[in-house]
Amino acid sequence: MKKAFLFLSALLAAALPAMADEGMWLPSLISQRIGDMQAKGFRLTAEDVYSVNQASLKDAVVLFGGGCTGELVSDEGLLLTNHHCGYSYIQRHSSVEHDYLKDGFWAMNRDEELPNKGLTVSFLDHMDEVTDLVLKGYEPGMTEAQRDSVVKVNSDRLVRESTDPDKGLKANVEALFYGNRYYLFVFRVYRDVRLVGAPPSSIGKFGGDTDNWMWPRHTGDFSIFRVYADKDNNPADYSPDNVPYRPRKFFKISRKGVQEGDFTFVYGCPGSTQEYVMSDQVRYVAEQSDPQKIALRTQRLDIQKKYMSASQAVRIQYSSKNASVANAWKKWQGEEKGIRRMRTVASKLAYEQRFREWARGTRYEGIVDELGEIYARRNPTYLAYEYYNEAVRTIELLSFASAVQSRLRAGTPTEDLIDSFYKDYYQPIDEETFVAMMTSFDRNVPERFKPDWFREQLAKYGSVAAWKDDLYAHSLFIDREKVAALRSVDEVAGDPAIEMYDAFLAWYRKDLYPVIQETGAALRVANRTYMQGQMDFEPQRDFYPDANLTLRIAYGQVKGYSPYDGAYYYPVSTLKGIIEKDNPDIFDYNIPQVLRDIYAQGGHDGQPVCFLATNHTTGGNSGSPVINADGDLIGINFDRVWEGTMSDIAFNPDICRNISLDIRYLLFVVDQVGHASYLFDEMSFAD
Ligand code: ARG
Ligand code: ASP
C-alpha cells in the first residue's frame, strides 16, 4: 500500500513542470504560465495580466523610485507602496514642528498633498524580445569586445528609437539569462508624485528591526502617494496646474480577506537573484562571504547598541544607520543557514555531474570546470574587496573626509554635508568601530592581500588602538569648526583620515580592481555559455530569468510554514498580536495611544494585519501588489521570512515565504488612525 503510494507520488512529482511556486516570470511570456496559474485557481486570462493592445494589470503597476514597486488604486492616480519605500520622502518633509515620521501624515484634500523632488514612478508601456536585433552583425568567432560593441551599437539605436522625452518615454535594453536573450523595455516615467498619507512609524515600522525578516509580523508597512500629469495625461515636472493622472488600469480592492490555500499573485520589480550559478559560487556565498560579513556587522551592531542603550540622543542618531546595517545582516544569516539546510552545494554538485556527462562532445564540454577556475581566481580577491567595503569604508570618519575632499575639489558648498554628518555622528562609536574593523582586517585578510601601507601603520604604532588614538587626535575632520572653515582642497592634504582613505583606495585600484574586472568579464562569457547549456540540457524545464529589477510575476498561495522542528507558523496575524507585543518601554513595540484606545473599545481582536504566502520575491518587490484569483488587490508585499532568504539562490517551497500587509489593515488605519476615509470614495471595492 505504502509503497504503491510512494511510487505514485514520485511519478506525479516527476511530471510537474516547475517546482511549486518557484519563479519570477516575464509578463510578456505569461501565456506560457497561464494554464498552470489557472489550474491553481487564477480566474483571469493572459491578456488580463499583460497586453499591449488593451488595458491590463501591468498598467496599474509601477517601479517606485529606484528600487521599490507601487500600484495604482484609483482612476485619479492614487498609489500604494510600503512605508519603508516612502520613508526618505516622508522624512524630508519632517521637522521638529511636523514630525511626519513619528506622527504620520494625512493630506485632508488635494491641496495638502506634498510634492517630492526627484521621485519618479515608471509604468511599463511595453516589452519585446529583441535578441535578434541586438545581435545583428554578430558573427561566431568574433571577440568578446567585438560582441560587446555590436550589442551596444544595436541597443543604443533601439533605445533611441523608443525614447520620446515629450511623452516621458524612456527605454532600456536588458540582458536576460546572462546575455542569451535581450529585451527592450519602454517606460512612461511620471515625475510629479505627491505624498498623500503615511501612518506613524509606530504603525508603519512597528516591530522595527526586532521583527524585520520575521514572522509573526505586525507591521503596517504602507504609504500613499498620488501621481500627477499634465492636462493631456502626459508626464510633467511638478506644477500646481498638473492634474491627477488617469491610469489605463487600477486595482479594485478586495475586502474578502485571505485564507490558507488561497491563490496569490505578486506583480512587481524584483531586484537581483542568482539561481543558476555553479556550486563553487554558492559555496563562496554560504561559507565565506556571508559568514565573514555577518561577523563584521555583528561587531558594528554590538558597538552601536552599547552606546544607543546608554543614551537616548545616540539612539536617535544611530537608529537609521543601525537599521540599514541590521537589514542585510539578518538576511545573510537566513541565506547562509538556508543554503546549508537545503544542501544546495551538494545538489548543485550532483546536477553539475549530470550536466558534465551530457555535455561531453558538445560546445558546453568543460564549461563547469572553466567557471570553477574563474571563481577560484576571483573569490580570494573578491573577499578582500568585501573587507574593503564592510570593514574599511564603514569607518564614518573616512567616508566623510573623502566626501568633503570631493566637494572642495569640485568647488561645491559643504554645509549640508557637514550638517548631516555631525547631526548623526557619535565619535566613540566610530572609534570603537575603527578598532574592531582594523583588527578583523588584520586577522582575516590573508597576508598577500594586505596593503603595504596597512602593515606600515601597524608597525609604526604597534597596535590598532594606538593607531586609532593618533588618527582621531590628529584628523581635522573630528572638528566641525575646522571642517567648516576649509576653503581649498589643499588644506586637507596630509590629513591622516584622507591619507588612510587614499591609501586603501589606491590598494583597491591596484591590487583588487584589475582581478575583479578581468574575472568579471570572463564570468560574463562563461556564465552565458553555462546558462544556455542548462537550458539545452533540460529542454522540458521552464526557466525564468534571474531578477534584474524588470517587471515580473510570481504566483503561489497563502500558506504557513514550519520554521524549525516542532513549530508551525499560521499564515495570518491580527491586531490582537500587536496588543500582545505592545510595550511603551520598548521602542520597536510602543504603539500609538489611539491604537490602544480603539482596541479597548472591543471588537477588533480579529482585525487582520499581515499574511504569509509562497510567492517567490526579493528586494525590490517591496510595495508590490498582492492580487487574488480575480485580479483584485488583497495586500502589499513588504518582506520575506529570514529562514527563506536563500530564495535569491535556491528556492525551497517548504520554507520560503513572502510577507504582505493585509489590505484591510491599510483601510483600518486610514480610517481609524488617519481619519482619511474620504480616500475610499475614489477607490473601487470588488466586494
Ligand atoms: N527586510 C525588508 C527589506 O529587505 C524591510 C526593510 C525595512 N524595515 C526595517 N525594519 N529595517 O527591505
Ligand atoms: N524588504 C524587501 C524590499 O524592500 C523585500 C524582500 O527582500 O523580500 O524590497
User: What's the 11 CA to ligand 1 centre distance in angstroms?
Assistant: 41
- Helix (H) or strand (E) segment spanning residue 304: helix 290-310
- Contact call for residues 568 and 203 (beta carbons, < 8 A): no
Nearest to 225 by CA among 61, 64, 95: 64
| One domain, residues 646 and 631 | yes
Is it the case that residue 72 has pLDDT exceeding 90?
yes
Per-residue pLDDT of 282-326, as tens digits, reads: 999 999 999 999 999 999 999 999 999 999 888 888 888 998 899
Q: Which of 509, 536, 563 is the last residue of a domain?
A: 536
pLDDT band at 32 (very low <50, low <70, confident <90, very high): very high
pLDDT of 300 = 98
- Which amino acids bring their CB within 6 angstroms of ligand 2? 617-622, 638-640
Q: Which of 139, 158, 190 is the last residue of a domain?
A: 190
Return the best residue to mutate from 68, 84, 330 for the ligand 1 pocket (most ligand atoms within 8 A of CB).
84
Question: Can you read off the three cell numbers belonging to residue 126?
Answer: 511595453
- Helix (H) or strand (E) segment spanning residue 409: helix 396-410
Ligand 1 nearest-atom number relative to CA 622: 12
The amino acid that residue 72 corresponds to is L
Cell 491553481, residue located? 40
User: What's the 383 CA to ligand 1 centre distance in angstroms?
Assistant: 25
pLDDT band at 69 (very low <50, low <70, confident <90, very high): very high
Domain span at residue 527?
Answer: 384-536
- Contact call for residues 264 and 630 (beta carbons, < 8 A): no
Q: How many structural domains comprise the chain?
A: 3
pLDDT of 13 = 42
Per-residue pLDDT of 91-149, as tens digits, reads: 889 877 888 989 999 999 999 999 999 999 999 999 999 999 999 999 999 999 999 99
pLDDT of 19 = 55
| One domain, residues 583 and 668 | yes
Per-residue pLDDT of 345-367, as tens digits, reads: 999 999 999 999 999 999 999 99
Q: Which of 487, 514, 536 is the last residue of a domain?
A: 536
Please name which ligand lies nearest the alpha carbon of 272: 2
User: What's the 418 CA to ligand 1 centre distance in angstroms?
Assistant: 28
- Contact call for residues 433 and 296 (beta carbons, < 8 A): no
Per-residue pLDDT of 373-417, as tens digits, reads: 999 999 999 999 999 999 999 999 999 999 999 999 999 999 999
pLDDT band at 9 (very low <50, low <70, confident <90, very high): very low
d(CA 608, CA 99): 28
| One domain, residues 203 and 133 | no
Q: Which of 251-260, 263-272, 312-321, 384-393 has the lowest mean pLDDT?
A: 312-321
371 in any annotated domain: no
- Contact call for residues 642 and 335 (beta carbons, < 8 A): no
Other CB atoms within 10 Å distance of the CB of residue 409: 12
pLDDT of 317 = 86
Ligand 1 nearest-atom number relative to CA 213: 1
User: What's the 639 CA to ligand 1 centre distance in angstroms?
Assistant: 7
The amino acid that residue 549 corresponds to is L
Other CB atoms within 10 Å distance of the CB of residue 255: 13
Return the best residue to mutate from 222, 330, 639 for the ligand 2 pocket (most ligand atoms within 8 A of CB).
639
**CATH number, residue 596:** 2.40.10.120
Ligand 1 nearest-atom number relative to CA 639: 2
Please name which ligand lies nearest the alpha carbon of 327: 1
- Helix (H) or strand (E) segment spanning residue 612: strand 608-613
302 in any annotated domain: no
Residue 561 is given by DSSP the state B
Is it the case that residue 10 has pLDDT exceeding 90?
no
pLDDT band at 1 (very low <50, low <70, confident <90, very high): very low
**Chain-centre distance for alpha carbon 192:** 24
CA nearest ligand 2 atom 4, residue: 622
User: What's the 84 CA to ligand 1 centre distance in angstroms?
Assistant: 7
User: What's the 427 CA to ligand 1 centre distance in angstroms?
Assistant: 27
The amino acid that residue 330 corresponds to is K
| One domain, residues 178 and 225 | no
Residue 633: phi and psi, rounded to 5, are: -80, 125
| One domain, residues 198 and 87 | yes
**Chain-centre distance for alpha carbon 680:** 30
User: What's the 555 CA to ligand 1 centre distance in angstroms?
Assistant: 22
CA nearest ligand 2 atom 1, residue: 639
365 in any annotated domain: no
For 222-280, give the DSSP string: -EEEEEEE-TTS------TT-EE---S--PPBP-S---TT-EEEEEE------SS--HH
pLDDT of 73 = 98
Q: What percent of the chain has pLDDT over 70?
A: 97
327 in any annotated domain: no
Return the best residue to mutate from 327, 641, 648, 658 for the ligand 1 pocket (most ligand atoms within 8 A of CB).
327
| One domain, residues 440 and 585 | no
Nearest to 268 by CA among 633, 588, 531, 20: 633
Return the best residue to mutate from 203, 322, 639, 661 for the ligand 1 pocket (most ligand atoms within 8 A of CB).
639
- Contact call for residues 376 and 452 (beta carbons, < 8 A): no
Return the best residue to mutate from 222, 622, 624 for the ligand 1 pocket (most ligand atoms within 8 A of CB).
622
Nearest to 274 by CA among 552, 547, 538: 547
Please, which residues have CB within 8 angstroms of residue 330's CB and are 6 or more apart in sequence?
Answer: 209, 212, 213, 642
Distances (CA, A) of 228 to 88, 107, 170, 225, 297: 20, 15, 18, 10, 41
- What mean pLDDT comes out for the span 501-513? 98
Question: Can you read off the three cell numbers belonging to residue 653?
Answer: 517551497
pLDDT of 78 = 98
| One domain, residues 525 and 399 | yes
- Which amino acids bring their CB within 6 angstroms of ligand 1? 84, 205, 208-209, 212-213, 323, 327, 619, 622, 639
Please name which ligand lies nearest the alpha carbon of 620: 2
Per-residue pLDDT of 464-494, as tens digits, reads: 999 999 999 999 999 999 999 999 999 999 9
Q: What 3-state DSSP class applies to 70?
A: strand
CA nearest ligand 1 atom 3, residue: 639
Question: Can you read off the three cell numbers belonging to residue 83?
Answer: 512605508
Q: What percent of the chain has pLDDT over 90?
A: 92
Active site residues: 84, 221, 622
| One domain, residues 477 and 556 | no
Please name which ligand lies nearest the alpha carbon of 587: 1
**Chain-centre distance for alpha carbon 159:** 26
Ligand 2 nearest-atom number relative to CA 617: 8
The CA angle 107-112-114, to the nearest 5 degrees, is 90
Number of H helices and number of E strands within the chain?
Answer: 25, 18
Ligand 1 nearest-atom number relative to CA 326: 11
| One domain, residues 516 and 557 | no
687 in any annotated domain: no
Ligand 1 nearest-atom number relative to CA 327: 11
pLDDT of 645 = 98
User: What's the 332 CA to ligand 1 centre distance in angstroms?
Assistant: 13
Per-residue pLDDT of 513-542, as tens digits, reads: 999 999 999 999 999 999 999 999 999 999
| One domain, residues 523 and 425 | yes
Ligand 2 nearest-atom number relative to CA 271: 9
Other CB atoms within 10 Å distance of the CB of residue 452: 10
Per-residue pLDDT of 409-445, as tens digits, reads: 999 999 999 998 999 999 999 999 999 999 999 999 9
The CA angle 508-328-400, to the nearest 5 degrees, is 50
280 in any annotated domain: no
| One domain, residues 243 and 98 | yes
4 in any annotated domain: no
307 in any annotated domain: no
Share the mean pLDDT of the chain.
95
User: What's the 140 CA to ligand 2 centre distance in angstroms?
Assistant: 40
pLDDT of 551 = 97
Please name which ligand lies nearest the alpha carbon of 270: 2
CA nearest ligand 1 atom 2, residue: 639
- 3 state SS for 26-65: CHHHHHHCHHHHHHCCCCCCHHHHCCCCCCCHHHHEEEEC
Residue 181: phi and psi, rounded to 5, are: -135, 150
Per-residue pLDDT of 198-215, as tens digits, reads: 999 999 999 998 999 999
| One domain, residues 113 and 57 | yes
